[in-house]
Amino acid sequence: MAERQRITLAVLALGGQGGGVLSDWLIDVGERSDWLVQATSVQGVAQRTGATIYYLEFFPEAALDAREPVLAPMPAPGDVDIVVASELMEAGRALLRGLVTPERTMLVTSTHRIYAIAEKSAPGDGTADSSKVLDAARRQAKALVAFDMQAACDSTGSAISAVMLGALAGSGALPFPRAAYEDAIRRSAIAVEANLAGFAAGFAGRDEAVPGLPTPLTLEDIVAEAERRLGEYQDTDYAALYRARLAPFAHRSPELRRELARTLALAMTYEDVMRVAQLKTRRAREGEIRAEVRAEPGQILRVTEYMHPRWQELCDTLPAGLGARLERNRFLRRLIGPLFERGRHVRTTDIGAFALLRLLASWRRARRATLRFARENARIESWLAAIRSEPDDALALELALAQDLLKGYGDTHARGMAKFETVIAAHRALRSEASAVKKVRALRQSLARGEDAPATSAASA
Give the model's pLDDT for residue 127.
75
Q: Select the more confidently predicted residue: 82 or 45.
A: 82
Residue 259 vs residues 147, 217, 241, 263, 457: alpha-carbon distances, Å: 29, 11, 17, 6, 28
139, part of any domain: yes
Beta-carbon contacts of residue 322 (< 8 Å; ≥ 6 apart): none
- Cβ distance 189 to 221 under 8 Å? no
290, part of any domain: no
Give the model's pLDDT for residue 72.
83
Identify the domain boundary among 209, 232, 265: 209
Give the model's pLDDT for residue 235.
94
Q: What global pTM score does this model have?
A: 0.63
3-class DSSP state of 83 = strand
- Please give the Cα distance from 298 to 45 (Å, whole number): 35
Closest C-alpha among 160, 115, 131, 120 to residue 25:
160
Residue 26's domain is classified under what CATH number?
3.40.920.10
Residue 348 vs residues 285, 301, 344, 354: alpha-carbon distances, Å: 12, 11, 12, 5
| Count of other CB atoms within 10 angstroms of residue 455 | 6
Model confidence at 118: pLDDT above 70: no
- Please give the Cα distance from 354 to 351 (Å, whole number): 5
The CA-CA-CA angle for residues 392, 395, 397, to 5°, reads: 105
Of 11-15, 189-193, 336-340, least confident by mean pLDDT is 336-340
Of 22-31, 57-66, 113-122, 217-226, least confident by mean pLDDT is 113-122
Q: What is the pLDDT of residues 52-79, one digit of tens each?
A: 899 999 999 888 877 778 888 888 999 9
323, part of any domain: no
The band of 1, judged by pLDDT with boundaries at 50, 70 and 90, is: very low
53, part of any domain: yes
State how beta strands 35-43 and 52-60 pair. Answer: antiparallel
339, part of any domain: no
216, part of any domain: no
The band of 401, judged by pLDDT with boundaries at 50, 70 and 90, is: very high
Identify the domain boundary among 209, 226, 256: 209
Kindly give the residue spans of alpha helices, DSSP state H, lying in 204-310: 219-233, 236-246, 254-268, 273-280, 283-293
Number of domains in the chain: 2
Give the model's pLDDT for residue 296.
76
- Provide the mean pLDDT of the chain: 86
The band of 407, judged by pLDDT with boundaries at 50, 70 and 90, is: confident
The band of 210, judged by pLDDT with boundaries at 50, 70 and 90, is: very low
Q: Report the first-to-last Cα separation within the chain, whole angstroms.
A: 65
Q: What is the pLDDT of residues 126-136, one digit of tens each?
A: 677 788 889 99
- Which domain covers residue 420, as residue numbers? 390-461
Average pLDDT over residues 84-93: 91
- Please give the Cα distance from 63 to 76 (Å, whole number): 23
Beta-carbon contacts of residue 297 (< 8 Å; ≥ 6 apart): none
- Cβ distance 126 to 162 under 8 Å? no
Model confidence at 460: pLDDT above 50: no
Identify the domain boundary among 209, 234, 268: 209
Q: For 312-329, b where at least 16 C-beta lie within 10 A, e where not — what string?
A: bbbbbbbebeebeebbee
Q: Is the dihedral of CA 124, 126, 130, 131 positive or negative?
A: positive
**β-strand partners of 110:** 147
Give the model's pLDDT for residue 45.
53
What's the maximum distance between 2 C-alpha atoms anywhere in the chain? 88
- Please give the Cα distance from 436 to 391 (Å, whole number): 13
Query: Which H, E and C letters describe 429-459, residue by residue?
Result: HHCCCCCHHHHHHHHHHHHHCCCCCCCCCHH
- Please give the Cα distance from 417 to 403 (Å, whole number): 9
Q: What would the DSSP string read from start to end of 372-427?
A: HHHHHHHHHHHHHHHHHH---HHHHHHHHHGGGG--SSTHHHHHHHHHHHHHHHHH
Phi, psi of 35 (to 5 degrees): -120, 145
Give the model's pLDDT for residue 130.
84
